[in-house]
Chain A
């Protein structure tokens, strides 16, 4: 029998999968804790880095089952004929949330999360520096303007929930203010210190 050397693999979206992704045991959750925590480390890191690469904000349990999903090339490995089940992804979501690397979105369900490949605090900084850089201080902006700016930014398509959380962090240091509007929420940024 061959002693298989695992190799990294670059996907069609340009993501370089780690060599461990070819290890079949990665797709079978280990029953004993030492191997299991190693396995979970690998999965959370893989998910977050892939999310950062593709700018994916959400992960659902369904993503494992749908070949059309953005996550398909990570959650399954057709070269070794292995894939995660929805059940396993749900378990991973739980792990991510417990490690504060994701939050259930919408809350009070267990099958879909917002991934924190940047923490809300980091997003707050990104948001503020973007506002400063594009000269949006002291003007009122809608969420839509932030999510769909004329020039693409890091904040393009950021989910409203995450955006709201980042703004909430900024309001604590008086660098932003929520504006209650009739047709959608708005925000006003301040320069701060």
Chain B
């Protein structure tokens, strides 16, 4: 029985036996245990509890001495026997041999239970999983500042020296326990500390002795030395649970679920355990931040430089591509007309015929010429290539908000993007390079647009008035349809006309969709009184 089970004090209520990350899944009383095919004489009447991690057998007669716990992770296989006549239903559990390393190459063996007492607050921390908690569960002081774990159960970390001669009970004063002075703050630290208690600075390593405060070697399971009969050698890894009062099916289902869930394998990705306390921790944190910022900046700037270098090559490549296309004009004659159009217009649209690169070393004298070039390029983007098939941004639209123009232009440029400040410098030059001139205008609401002369206020207001005269009062949306401009822009234009007193508004009070404003010509102006 002791090969797999560990004695526990069953007089304690089962929920109190659970570890913090453990949950009770089910239980059944009136069970007995078999080792192999033989009844285990001391464990014939009790209750069995299955948790997310363990099976716990609580003996009814001698709960304190004869209760056992089994770890689910050691179970390799289960079988269910439904019972026949006087034979009770049984669940057979096959265990891995007790000395099999389950850690999967980890340095530490799968110790069943660690309890360690926090030196600061005295809280006894208990954990079962692979990864020990890095800090005391009560006061949050990192475990590094505490003693190394003191396993009280079956096995212990393997990298701990096993020499019994080095064992000293905790609290025993040692001959070589001279206190360690911190190199930074000179505080005399307890020799067992790794980091200074005051400022958190790592303490100089002790060279003279191995970690003398290693865990106690209370090894209850002794598989190698355990005398065993030949047949029990086979059966040592088999445990049967006999259900004398039923409940076997439900219990088996619960057990299966727990085994499949493998809660013990689910290790939460633990944040890199950092010592964040003390002055040392703060200094380190800050240094890490600075380092990462520096790294990010370096990377970003390198990328940018590489991009700049590539830009010229890309443009050259595109020009070359275009030239080759031109040379093959003859062959292209055979292409369908649509394809020809797409090729030629896409090149124009890309603005690659005369790309203007933003040069960082442009002098003031050059700057003016540079802005001129930019204006020419923008003109192409807006009105299409000269003598080409049109297709500029303003081909079908007479008025475009500035942000859209800026976005479209930079999308066309692709590389060497134009900042808004330069864009604003280019705009006044735009009208010189476009025919009909593309004008810039700021509305009352500070919305800025570029527009063709057709959409200047001087042209628009009479057109609007004529439209209203002819077709009656119209809403903003109706005017926008008539003028084929975005509603937001036409609203600004009408507002300007209203401000000039050329149109007046009429709010229809009860509309289905709230209030709608209809625009009228200003009949107040020049009205001659014709009433009483």
Contact = CB atoms under 8 A, between A and B. Distances in A.
B505 A25 contact: yes
Interface residues of B, number: 26
Given A34-B501, A38-B525, A53-B532, A25 B471 contact: no
Interface string A1-27: 111101010000001111111011111
A165 interface: no
Interface residues of A, number: 33
B520 A23 contact: yes
Contacts of A24: 473, 506, 508, 518, 520
B527 interface: yes
A42 interface: yes
B529 A18 contact: yes
Contact of B507 (A6, A18, A28, A50): A28
Nearest to A23: B523
Contacts, number: 79
Given A20-B523, A38-B524, A28 B506 contact: yes
20 contacts: A2-B472, A3-B469, A3-B470, A6-B523, A8-B531, A16-B531, A19-B530, A20-B523, A20-B531, A24-B520, A25-B520, A25-B523, A27-B506, A32-B499, A34-B500, A38-B522, A42-B524, A42-B527, A45-B529, A53-B532
A126 interface: no
Nearest to B520: A25
Interface string B129-155: 000000000000000000000000000
A8 to B, nearest CB: 6
Interface in A29-54: 30-32, 34-35, 38-39, 42, 45-46, 49-50, 53
Interface centre among A1, A16, A28, A32 (most CB of B within 10 A): A28
A35 B501 contact: yes
B457 to A, nearest CB: 15
Contacts of B529: 18, 45
B498 interface: yes
Contact of B504 (A1, A35, A45): A35
A46 B531 contact: yes
A27 B470 CA distance: 22
A88 to B, nearest CB: 11
Contact of A15 (B520, B524, B532): B532
B469 A30 contact: no
Contacts of B507: 28
B357 to A, nearest CB: 48
Interface centre among B471, B472, B498, B532 (most CB of A within 10 A): B532
Interface string B342-375: 0000000000000000000000000000000000
Contact of B530 (A8, A15, A28, A32): A8
